[in-house]
Structure 1
Amino acid sequence: MSAENTLPDSLTELLRATGAALRIFDMGRRISKLPLERFRRIEDSQLPYPTPFQHQAWLAVLIWNPKQRDENAVWFLRLPLDEQGLVAPAARDDLVKRLIQNVINSRSGQPDEDALKDNPYSFTPEQSRMAAFHALAAREMKAPASPHYERAQAWFKGQLGLDEWPSLAYQGLADVIMRLDQEGNEQALCERLPDMPAAVLETLCPLLEHQQPSGRLHQALLELLHPALTEDNGNRVAALCRALSNGPDELAKQQWVSEVLASKHATQAEVITVIATRCESALLEPRVLSRFLEQLARGEAGQTGFSRILAELMFMPVHRALLLQAFRNPERSEALSQAIGEMFGQTFEAPTSH
């Protein structure tokens, strides 16, 4: 029993007990560093996970041996959250027990990637996210970029012809985007944007959502978004919304999101989904939220899309409160009233005062 009690009861303790160094990345709505102290509090169910997606916390744990930094492993983990957005303790305990058992059973006795074997809490990121993660992790570890970086950088800087873009590796593009503040990369990107082939732009935008654009890059992207709103390419609009979504100026974000919601693309499933999942902070402004709800109710995603998107937003406490308030707005349209009724059952009748 006493031996049992000495076993680590958290991921942080488990990894510290092996002598490993670690860094944590949030892999939820976008990829970003998660300070270790904050992760400890999230893991202990003291703080809600900041960016819940599909009611789960999505994490990457980068583990390395301080004496041999090139020997590293990555654990991609997802943990269920309760209604307050807190990590479910039973799931965390189950995960830690499985990891301990696998580390004990492994030949090395170290927390390598084999420790995730047959683990129901592990996941594999899609290609674009994996490339972005590797590029960001290399930068954080002060390791060199991938061998594809220099060619991609040369293309952005005009040292290769515009038509040579098919020869660029996706990982190289990710490396450039994750190092925008180095070697003139941001300036090169801004200068390339106006002439950039559509295929490259739509490939870059999901990478840009993990970066906070500078004022100059933000303006360059807006100059592409505005004409796109009057054209017929909804994919381009959705992609540019992703690229702009991590901008720090919330008033500016509310402004361009409102313009997208006033455009003919607002009812397209991909566009409205990007606004809900990447630009959710703009929806904290009640007027933006009201317009969003009206377009969602009329959208191509139908009732299923309406219900799914709102279930995701309502998982965040502040959004939930604002949504419930918006549902009670007596000026809501018949289409929105009907969609709300379908989602909650016809019994959802909002009190008119209180």
Structure 2
Amino acid sequence: MSSVSTLSDLFDHAKLPFRIYHLGRRVMPCSRAHFRAFEEEKIAWESPFKGEARLALVIDDPDGQVDQSRIWCLALPLDEQGQLQPAARDAFLRRLLEAGLEASLHSEEDGQHDPMKDNPLAYAPDMMARAMLHAWLCHDNGLPLSEAAQHVARYIAAPTADDAPEWSDLSVQGIADWTVQLTTEDKVLLATQLPQLEDHVVSALCQCLEHTPFQHEALAAALRTRTTSDEPLRPLGLRAVIGTQTETARQWLDTLLTQTPSVEALAIVSLRGWQHLEHAERLPVFLEALAAHPDINLRDSLRDLALIPRLRLPVIMALQQASPASALGRRLSEMGLGRY
């Protein structure tokens, strides 16, 4: 396999279908073309998080059984340009080649050749990320709505009906399955029913919706209304809405920036709503708000934003244009970055 220099090459050579999913800023599908170009060091990773490309490499089960798919969750290190640092990937690739791909894929059956054991690239997503990944796999395999998701649909359609499922019986996996397959009608219904839903259900819905930017104005507005006045729900509502390209998301962010946003709110915007920072006036205000919080590690926060390909140049320009008298200018000077 002298021609094998990337993971994409390896699976193509073995004629094994595989898929890639983002696990960093959101859990969502990633195109194989993007992953291949990234592996070939032609482009930067489109959704970096904490200096890594966090992803799930899914090797499909030949019989289409989602639960039998092999899933390798990896955190590939990035350089200062957001591109792959290939050494760790190359070591993983050599490990697969030496053990044999077939043996590695059946490691769970024989207990040997586990490619993720003692693997420095191995990454363990949290429960919500695992639920969303499973939901996306079912969706992308064209599977019908799960029984758990059908219970969610029945509850949301009529939460106060005598025959409605108990909200406490709804599972996180069922809510995840339902959110990735939302139709326009579902979004309209959810926007209407939100005031009647239990807080625990709204919380779980928000945590799933933040991975499925739903681009629906009425639903975004309803989520903001439902969560803004509730302290525990407010950050969850922001996480769900801020990733959408809706007027509600933009207005919510602009309102935050006219106040004194909390560290948590700023982190949410950086993580889920960075697209809204592609704005000549909004980005400097956001960076100034970051700098105004002494507890924020500004260097790491700026690096994380600048690794996003579409934000790299705007962030650098905003830093260069920061007034020395501003909070941002002072923090940059303290870090020795006055001429960033």
State the TM-score, normalizing by the size of structure 1.
0.82
1:135 counterpart residue number: 135
Separation (CA, whole Å) in 1 of partners of 2:267 and 2:106: 44
2:280 to 281, 286, 299: 286
1:311 counterpart residue number: 303
Superposed CA deviations along residues 233-289 of structure 1, whole A, max 9, x for unmatched, are: 2x433222221233235x76443311122245x1x1211100111111111212111
Deviation at 1:227, TM superposition (A): 7.9
Does residue 101 of the first structure (1) align with residue 98 of the second (2)?
yes
Superposed CA deviations along residues 123-159 of structure 1, whole A, max 9, x for unmatched, are: 1211111101100110101124444222222111116
**Kindly tell me: are residues 101 and 153 of structure 1, through their superposed partners in 2, closer, same or farther at Cα, counting changes over 3 Å?**
farther
Residue 18 of structure 1 aligns to which amino acid in structure 2?
A
Does residue 186 of the first structure (1) align with residue 178 of the second (2)?
no
1:172 counterpart residue number: 174
Separation (CA, whole Å) in 2 of partners of 1:120 and 1:222: 43
Superposed CA deviations along residues 33-59 of structure 1, whole A, max 9, x for unmatched, are: 222222211111111110110111111
Contact conserved, 2:24 with 2:53, CA < 8 A, in 1? yes
Q: Report the secondary structure of 2:57's partner residue.
A: strand
Q: Report the secondary structure of 1:58's partner residue.
A: strand
Corresponding pairs, count: 333
Does residue 211 of the first structure (1) align with residue 212 of the second (2)?
yes
Residue 48 of structure 1 aligns to which amino acid in structure 2?
A
2:150 counterpart residue number: 150
Superposed CA deviations along residues 302-336 of structure 1, whole A, max 9, x for unmatched, are: 34433332221122355343333333446565433
Higher relative contact order (CA 8 A, sep 6+): 2
Q: Which moved more, 1:69-78 or 1:328-337?
A: 328-337
1:239 to 225, 236, 256: 236
Task: Map 1:311-350; keep pairs closer than 5 Å.
Answer: 311-329=303-321, 331=323, 334-342=326-334, 344-345=335-336, 348-350=337-339
Q: Report the secondary structure of 2:73's partner residue.
A: strand
2:265 to 262, 268, 271: 271
**Kindly tell me: are residues 148 and 114 of structure 1, through their superposed partners in 2, closer, same or farther at Cα, counting changes over 3 Å?**
farther
2:115 counterpart residue number: 115
Residue 178 of structure 1 aligns to which amino acid in structure 2?
V
Superposed CA deviations along residues 159-217 of structure 1, whole A, max 9, x for unmatched, are: 665893222111011011011128x53333222212333332222212112223243xx
Deviation at 1:110, TM superposition (A): 8.1
Contact conserved, 1:297 with 1:303, CA < 8 A, in 2? no
Where does structure 2 lack aligned partners over 5 or more consecutive residues?
Answer: none
Q: Give the alignment's Cα RMSD to 1 decimal.
A: 3.0
Q: Which moved more, 1:270-279 or 1:206-215?
A: 206-215
Separation (CA, whole Å) in 2 of partners of 1:9 and 1:100: 11
Separation (CA, whole Å) in 2 of partners of 1:286 and 1:247: 19
1:73 counterpart residue number: 70
Separation (CA, whole Å) in 2 of partners of 1:111 and 1:13: 23
Contact conserved, 1:52 with 1:85, CA < 8 A, in 2? yes
Contact conserved, 1:103 with 1:111, CA < 8 A, in 2? no
Aligned-pair identity in percent equals 26
Task: Map 1:17-96; keep pairs closer than 5 Å.
Answer: 17-66=13-62, 68-70=63-65, 71-96=68-93
**Kindly tell me: are residues 164 and 122 of structure 1, through their superposed partners in 2, closer, same or farther at Cα, counting changes over 3 Å?**
same
**Kindly tell me: are residues 340 and 141 of structure 1, through their superposed partners in 2, closer, same or farther at Cα, counting changes over 3 Å?**
same
Residue 248 of structure 1 aligns to which amino acid in structure 2?
Q
Contact conserved, 2:76 with 2:88, CA < 8 A, in 1? yes
